[in-house]
Amino acid sequence: MAGMTASKRILIAGGTLVGACVIWMVTASLLLCMLGHRMDAFVWPYDQWLDAAPHWRANWLMTLGIVFSAAMPTVVLLAVGVWIVRMRIGRKPRALYGDSGWARAGEQRANGVRQSARLP
């Protein structure tokens, strides 16, 4: 992503957001149809959840179905998002030759390094 322009990044972010919304809607509609044993209603454009959402307080079973079918895809998409952020941001750059510090005076003497107060 280092060589990408800002417009490409915006397009990729927007496409990812739209894709996530479509995946969420299809998954929520699928779960709602499965919970209601109405897989025959699961047809294109797969927006059955939007059709049923205004009636979520009709009875306790409808409320449970709407809430569960919305919560599951949300949890999954949030988990994937957190995983991507951790993979992308969470990595610390490693030093090329490892973590090393200056040798102490005793280590220098043990390895044959002479210490002098003046330069030759």
Over residues 47-67, the pLDDT tens digits come to 999 999 999 999 999 999 999
Is a pLDDT exceeding 80 seen at residue 18?
yes
CB 73 within 8 A of CB 28: yes
Mean pLDDT of the chain: 87
What does the DSSP assignment read for 4-23? --HHHHHHHHHHHHHHHHHH
Task: Output the furthest CA–CA distance in the chain (Å, rounded).
Answer: 92
Q: Which has the closest alpha carbon to 33: 45, 23, 43, 24?
A: 43
The band of 76, judged by pLDDT with boundaries at 50, 70 and 90, is very high
pTM equals 0.69
What does the DSSP assignment read for 81-93? HHHHHHHHHSPPP
Residue with the two structure tokens 């992308």: 88
pLDDT at 111: 84
What does the DSSP assignment read for 45-93? T--HHHHHGGGTTSSHHHHHHHHHHHHHHHHHHHHHHHHHHHHHHSPPP
